Structure 1
Amino acid sequence: MKKIIFALILGFTTLVSAQNSLSGTVTDSQNQPLPGVSVYASELHKGTTTDQNGKYEFSNLPNGVLRLSFTYVGYASVNKTIPKLLKENTLDITLEESILEMDEVIVSTPFNKLQSQNVMKVEHESIKTLQQKGTSTLIEGLATIPGVSQISTGTSIGKPVIRGLSGNRVLVYSQGVRIENQQFGDEHGLGLNDAGIESVEVIKGPASLLYGSDALGGVLYFNPEKFADANTFKANFSQKYFTNTQGSNSSIGLKTSTDNWKFLARGAFNTHSDYKIADGDRVTNSRYNETDFKTGVGYSNATFSSVLRYNYNKLDIGIPEDGIGEQSSSKNTLFPRQGIFNHLLSLNNVIFFENSKLDVDLGYIANDRSEFEDSNDAALRMKLKTFNYNAKYHFPKLGKIETIVGVQGMHQTNENLGEEYLIPNATTNDFGVFGTANYEWNSNVLQAGLRFDNRSITSEANGIEGEEGYFSPLDKSFESFNASLGYKTNFTKDLTLRLNVATGFRAPNLAELTSNGVHEGTNRYEIGNADLKTEQNVQTDLNLEYKNSHFEFFVNGFYNHINNYIYTAPTGEVLDANDVFAYTQDNAKLYGGEVGFHFHPHPLDWLHFETSFETVTGKKDNNDYLPLIPANNWNNTLRTEFNIKNWFKEGYASLNVSSTFDQKNVSGFETASKGYTLVNLGFGGTVKLGKTAFDLSLNGNNLFDENYIAHLSRLKTDGIPNIGRNIVLGVNFNL
């Protein structure tokens, strides 16, 4: 398969050649030129900026279809498609003023439409917006998005939760590649750093049609940092300081581009002491250190576009076990601790034909995870190596119908090098084939798709039969057919309805199939079940949106039915002084949604009020509640935007009040959680002092030092509260 894909990439580059160009002018509604407008061709990873006269130009463009986005702060984004390029092309654009958020191109869905044109409701957030909230990690920022939560172990480890589903039920993509890092484990976090990431897209609901197994609950799709505009060089340095953990977050990056070649590199280092709770005590060994490096090189011409990216991430994480013990501000982790090395290599290619194109994404991930109990000799060490491929052919547009067919797969090996085994040595192979079509007429869009997948898992025997840690050999195969159907319509210019029905699936993971031993952190002896069946779900989503120039309103509702939901249940036995839990299955259902609005009154365009409420309920067929379901949350933000003469631009100040309610709907192995309210303040903008300019941000999180324990905190069973007051100061210099 590798040779075939490589031959396609090399062979097709000689079939088509063109020297097409495009130019134009961007103006406002008064026909005045707009300088500084970003013009970006995402498939070419190529961008430019309008000059003082509002003019822009591109050269070396391919034949066929070209998609461009025009974005400018304070104006509504415009997405334009040129169906067939000529030798010389002219495209003039008029941007309309808009105080509300820009309409973004969605990359995680197959046809890359603007969100306003998309059949699926996808949440899009820039990393800059999340960082302005003063959160210390990427997962903390994600948890501020309605419908997204986190299972946390202190401040260092966070696992994403989408509408009550987590672990192997949520798929994570970065650099166009699915992230595989032993995500089944309770203490295995996201493993990504926000440096070098442009934005995140959240698909809330089954996305197996696009991504195969493990996208049963949803997808987090991280878009990498864009390259510099053609013929420019950019460099920046950012620094943050966190008072609670005496933490530091440093990042430095540079990037440059010509008309054809592009290059970027970014390094980041995070270091944090143990976090303080509201009474001033520190949670022993909740400290951590992280080193991250990202680089990329790209080339595009009239025939193809290719981007090679590499990400190295090193984590040194303390595992808090003693609660409030030794008090220290040291950043050197104690035992027990985790050491994680992650390498991600991706190659993203687009090959252009006259009226069609071929996308080929290849990825390789090496995840080396060690746990050290009381010495620097790893008691547990797992090496996970994953090769991904994804090829999609976009057929020529037939009238108003767009069609895509593709193949997708994965080859994965797991190897144990320590004395302890959580899962056996194993090999996993995935293969999927799919097709989807998009039909658009007037203000209506209909989208449908079908997919078939096969996953095979083989594992080695290990240990002595009848004793803890014994794994019998495994040779299993799982198959699934999935489909999706979505419809979007505009009742009026400002009122949009989306209705989607989709199925998803998840094959059992190795821990569920093979476990045989004490699961640290839960104090349970867990026994796997080699006869587990594939989880299969059907979810219905309804989205209603209203938008005008001063008001936005949305309501999202969902109902998710899961056949063969996998969970652990007590057997009544005791082994090694631990209660025995066995993996079993039952049908389950989850339902709920999100509702909110954004209002800024005229003529007070500088004033914004946003509010949102989210809820989810999860039950088994016998009406017992599912575990790890997030509590209901009501989030309110009052935000102002301002400029102070010529020295302070794009200023903002915000007051956020986040109320989390009591969680009493718990499974038989959980305890109820009390509600709490957190108050957060934010301030920032761009400071200009002569020729020097820098971005400044100041955040006060949990301003009143609330003493609380989140329901999804893994330290809850030990009665350890979450982080107390945290003041965050950040600066960013464009060098």
Structure 2
Amino acid sequence: MKFYLTALLAGFSIFAFGQHKLVGTITDPHRKGLEKVSIVLPELQKETFSDANGNFAFDNLPSGKFSISFSIIGYANKITTVSLTQSETVLDIVLDETSTHMDELIVSTVFNKMQSQNVMKVEHQSVKTMQQNGAVTLTEGLAKIPGVSQVSTGTSIGKPVIRGLSGNRVLVYSQGIRMENQQFGEEHGLGMSDAGVESVEVIKGPASLLYGSDALGGVLYFNPEKFAAPEVFTGNFSQKLFSNTKGSNSSFGIKTSSEHWKFLTRASYATHADYKIPTGDRITNTRFIEKDYKIGIGYSDVHYQTEFRYNYNHLNIGLPEEDLENSHSRTPLYPKQDIDNHLLSWHQKYFFKNSKLEADLGYTHNNRKELEAANDVALHMQLKTASYNLKYYLPKTGNLETIIGIQGLHQTNSNKGKELLIPDATTNDIGILITSMYEWKKHTFQAGIRYDSRTIETESHGIFGEEGYFQAIDKNFESFNASLGYKTKFLDNLTFRLNVATGFRAPNLAELTSNGVHEGSNRYEIGNAKLKNEQNFQTDVNLEYGNNHFEFFANGFYNPIRNYIFLAPNGNVIDGNAAFDYVQDNAALYGGEVGIHFHPHPLDWLHFVSSFETVTGKKENGDYLPLIPANKFSNTLRTEFEWERLKKTYALVNVDYVFNQNHVSAFETKSTNYTLVNLGFGSTVNIGKTKFDCSLNANNLLDKTYISHLSRLKSDGIPNMGRNIVLGVNFNF
């Protein structure tokens, strides 16, 4: 709080009350005005479009220097800096013709630069693109991004994996705040719907400098859908049908904005029956039902922006087990999970003369039940987390930008069920950081340092020496972390990035204290109160080349982790379940991704995208780590064209080849290779005054029988989903 008040008072000392206007014209190289160009001031969250003559205007802008981007399909993106010091500033822009993809604003990095400006390489993927690829769930769509995969339990549960790391090593942000939903469990899914989510950004590597503990392996940052443009009311209804699971996914949303106020709301409902494998059999109790509701309210003026969002998500998920009798109902059978997740976020920005202050407050309430039968709640855990994130952007000095910040959380876990896996506990975090970026000609340097402290206090439970006993603990974990990044352009089209960063992860509550049966995993887990911090030092190299018709990227990483925590069987059986201990060993992960995007001239409507990804994980003694994804080679051929009544039409064929996974841990089995073929088609249809988007996908077109190495049903020999036809429509009004 002292930091907040100090920064606030320092900012007010340089407060400027002037209002500014920005106007301009956007033309092509022949000086013809360009219509419908997207003009974005990302730091101010303002966007507009050029009119038929290429003109645009922004009113009520604060003083200062801001990045501004111009983008439209068919022309090269342009990013520049505008200085708002006068009552009216004029900015005229010329865009060159090209067929390369648009540059995206990256919100997850601390300086919020465009992708081409970032020192750290971040993968950006729109949810619309993932949906065009026919993904049943949000996590399934993420697994299409090179370097990202998923630990899955059928279609109902998916857990993101970034370069071989998952669980509490991957931090998830939604609505600008961290999601906390007992993510330590392999069978605990992402817990969020793709409805009302615009895009995802993936940081593949330690991001402890920005986010603290639990970001050792990377970050998934989900951007919510934008508010409507000023003085606009709009809405949409979408419906998807899935042949394999007899599934349905419906979403309805509206949004409107005035000059200062913004409002949106969205509701969605998804239901899926048991999925079918190529033999025609259905895997009993892989069904699930998901309800999701979101609401957002925003206000902005020349000095201040605020945004409040709330998300409620309810999941009713079946847990497949042997000896379950199938039924044709969509309602999950027992055992099952029943999960409520509430997420509230409040974001504020204060604009001063040459600086700004951001304050993000968040609250999540995760209510997780695992039921063995009706009114028989085995596990019932309630996790409540209040978090804060304050960042002060110091006045820019020449080419040097600096940010100081403080972050933290207060978290409580309480048990209501008849069984305990982890005890009642309280966790407190606090972290302080400073980071700077310096630009010199074609070179950009970024460096930062951070200190974190985490305390975990638990309550005792049970009787010493008896089963189910929990000893009270009071632990403190500390860590200093730093990062250093460098970006340059060897040529106009060739970009090189080098990043080295340390990351850490404090042991989570389950790893420290578990002493019970984890119903979803069917094993008895035993914690270890003597566990130490995981600490890594990762090196990332990125090389990118791009011209009008060819793009290439290559990413490499080496990630040694000291005191890596994992579960290992101890040979005992407790309550009919194999017993597993949490243990530590030094480990290392290494690998990378390489890919191309080719769109030849004059066939600019034709796109060929190809990528290869690999990761290897080993302990210090040479044994392989568990849950490391197999290598994958992915190829997509996509065409884009327009007919009289069909606009923005595309057709694609995707072929994924997944290699053998022979590098397995002592208690895993090897996995064989397989090839999947997927098709997709979509278009915007115009019939009279009616306009709607439609899509048709065929996933696993050849109905291939295969088992993913990261499937939790693999040990039972249960294959993944067979052929799935997905039909989608979206009406905008």
TM-score normalised to the size of structure 1? 0.97
Match of 2:674 in 1: 676
Match of 1:730 in 2: 728
- Return closer, same or farther for 1:589/1:247 CA change in 2, 3 Å cut-off: same
State the Cα distance separating 1:547 from its structure 2 match. Answer: 0.6
Question: Which residue type is aligned with residue 272 of structure 1?
Answer: H
Counterpart CA distance in 1 for 2:328 and 2:572 is: 43
| Partners of 1:381 and 1:418 within 8 A in 2 | yes
Counterpart CA distance in 1 for 2:455 and 2:262 is: 39
Q: Secondary structure at the match of 1:129?
A: helix
Q: Secondary structure at the match of 2:76?
A: coil
1:309-388 residue pairs with structure 2 within 5 A?
Answer: 309-322=309-322, 326-388=325-387
Deviates more, 1:624-633 or 1:561-570: 561-570
Match of 1:31 in 2: 31
Residues 1:559 and 2:558 aligned together: yes
Match of 2:485 in 1: 486
State the Cα distance separating 1:470 from its structure 2 match. Answer: 1.4
Match of 1:53 in 2: 53
| Partners of 1:46 and 1:230 within 8 A in 2 | no
Match of 1:406 in 2: 405
Residues 1:571 and 2:570 aligned together: yes
State the Cα distance separating 1:31 from its structure 2 match. Answer: 1.7
Match of 1:477 in 2: 476
State the Cα distance separating 1:317 from its structure 2 match. Answer: 0.8
Question: Which residue type is aligned with residue 556 of structure 1?
Answer: N
Question: Which residue type is aligned with residue 568 of structure 1?
Answer: L
State the Cα distance separating 1:443 from its structure 2 match. Answer: 1.0
Match of 2:647 in 1: 649
- Return closer, same or farther for 1:92/1:219 CA change in 2, 3 Å cut-off: same
State the Cα distance separating 1:43 from its structure 2 match. Answer: 3.1
| Partners of 1:84 and 1:355 within 8 A in 2 | no
Match of 1:185 in 2: 185
Deviates more, 1:90-99 or 1:336-345: 90-99
Match of 2:392 in 1: 393
Match of 2:416 in 1: 417
- Return closer, same or farther for 1:356/1:4 CA change in 2, 3 Å cut-off: closer
Match of 2:665 in 1: 667
Counterpart CA distance in 2 for 1:698 and 1:579 is: 45
Match of 1:445 in 2: 444
* Selected match of 2:703 from 699, 702, 705: 705
1:617-656 residue pairs with structure 2 within 5 A?
Answer: 617-645=616-644, 647-656=645-654
Deviates more, 1:434-443 or 1:14-23: 14-23
Match of 1:173 in 2: 173
Gaps of 5+ in 2: none
State the Cα distance separating 1:52 from its structure 2 match. Answer: 1.7
Q: Secondary structure at the match of 1:83?
A: strand
Q: Secondary structure at the match of 1:491?
A: strand
- Return closer, same or farther for 1:383/1:470 CA change in 2, 3 Å cut-off: same
Match of 2:694 in 1: 696
CA offset digits 1:444-501 (Å, max 9, x no partner): 1111000000000001011222222211101000000000001111100011111110
| Partners of 2:43 and 2:112 within 8 A in 1 | no
Match of 1:95 in 2: 95
- Return closer, same or farther for 1:258/1:444 CA change in 2, 3 Å cut-off: same
| Partners of 1:126 and 1:198 within 8 A in 2 | yes
Deviates more, 1:575-584 or 1:117-126: 575-584
| Partners of 1:281 and 1:327 within 8 A in 2 | no
| Partners of 1:170 and 1:215 within 8 A in 2 | yes
Q: Secondary structure at the match of 2:84?
A: coil
Match of 1:76 in 2: 76
Match of 2:291 in 1: 291
- Return closer, same or farther for 1:513/1:435 CA change in 2, 3 Å cut-off: same
Question: Which residue type is aligned with residue 111 of structure 1?
Answer: F
Q: Secondary structure at the match of 1:664?
A: coil
| Partners of 2:11 and 2:356 within 8 A in 1 | no
Q: Secondary structure at the match of 1:411?
A: strand
TM-score normalised to the size of structure 2? 0.97
Question: Which residue type is aligned with residue 45 of structure 1?
Answer: Q
Q: Secondary structure at the match of 2:290?
A: strand
Counterpart CA distance in 1 for 2:174 and 2:379 is: 27
Counterpart CA distance in 1 for 2:714 and 2:441 is: 53
| Partners of 1:44 and 1:300 within 8 A in 2 | no
Counterpart CA distance in 2 for 1:69 and 1:365 is: 34
Match of 2:459 in 1: 460
| Partners of 1:12 and 1:351 within 8 A in 2 | no
State the Cα distance separating 1:10 from its structure 2 match. Answer: 14
Counterpart CA distance in 2 for 1:614 and 1:545 is: 16
Match of 2:22 in 1: 22
| Partners of 2:23 and 2:58 within 8 A in 1 | yes
Root mean square deviation, CA, Å: 1.8
| Partners of 1:49 and 1:229 within 8 A in 2 | no
| Partners of 2:38 and 2:48 within 8 A in 1 | yes
State the Cα distance separating 1:327 from its structure 2 match. Answer: 4.4
State the Cα distance separating 1:47 from its structure 2 match. Answer: 2.1
- Return closer, same or farther for 1:313/1:56 CA change in 2, 3 Å cut-off: same
- Return closer, same or farther for 1:339/1:716 CA change in 2, 3 Å cut-off: same
Q: Secondary structure at the match of 1:210?
A: helix
State the Cα distance separating 1:74 from its structure 2 match. Answer: 2.6
Counterpart CA distance in 1 for 2:496 and 2:44 is: 32
Counterpart CA distance in 1 for 2:573 and 2:296 is: 53
Counterpart CA distance in 1 for 2:45 and 2:399 is: 26
State the Cα distance separating 1:190 from its structure 2 match. Answer: 0.4
Match of 1:249 in 2: 249
Q: Secondary structure at the match of 2:373?
A: coil
Q: Secondary structure at the match of 2:75?
A: coil
| Partners of 2:625 and 2:664 within 8 A in 1 | yes
Counterpart CA distance in 2 for 1:2 and 1:609 is: 54
Question: Which residue type is aligned with residue 698 of structure 2?
Answer: G
Counterpart CA distance in 2 for 1:718 and 1:579 is: 15
| Partners of 1:308 and 1:347 within 8 A in 2 | yes
| Partners of 1:13 and 1:351 within 8 A in 2 | no
- Return closer, same or farther for 1:211/1:659 CA change in 2, 3 Å cut-off: same
CA offset digits 1:327-371 (Å, max 9, x no partner): 444211111111111111101111111001111111011111111
Counterpart CA distance in 2 for 1:19 and 1:574 is: 71
Q: Secondary structure at the match of 1:378?
A: strand
State the Cα distance separating 1:9 from its structure 2 match. Answer: 10
Counterpart CA distance in 1 for 2:10 and 2:466 is: 54
Q: Secondary structure at the match of 1:43?
A: helix
Counterpart CA distance in 2 for 1:74 and 1:193 is: 32
CA offset digits 1:94-150 (Å, max 9, x no partner): 222332221111111111111111111100011111110011100000000000000
Deviates more, 1:30-39 or 1:723-732: 30-39
Match of 2:161 in 1: 161
- Return closer, same or farther for 1:334/1:63 CA change in 2, 3 Å cut-off: same
Gaps of 5+ in 1: none
| Partners of 1:59 and 1:259 within 8 A in 2 | no
State the Cα distance separating 1:3 from its structure 2 match. Answer: 11
Question: Which residue type is aligned with residue 612 of structure 2?
Answer: F
Match of 1:110 in 2: 110
- Runs (4 or more) in structure 1 with deviation over 6 Å come to none
Counterpart CA distance in 2 for 1:131 and 1:663 is: 28
Question: Which residue type is aligned with residue 554 of structure 2?
Answer: V
Counterpart CA distance in 1 for 2:585 and 2:329 is: 46
CA offset digits 1:420-448 (Å, max 9, x no partner): 11211100000000011101111111110
Q: How many residues align?
A: 733
Question: Which residue type is aligned with residue 117 of structure 2?
Answer: Q
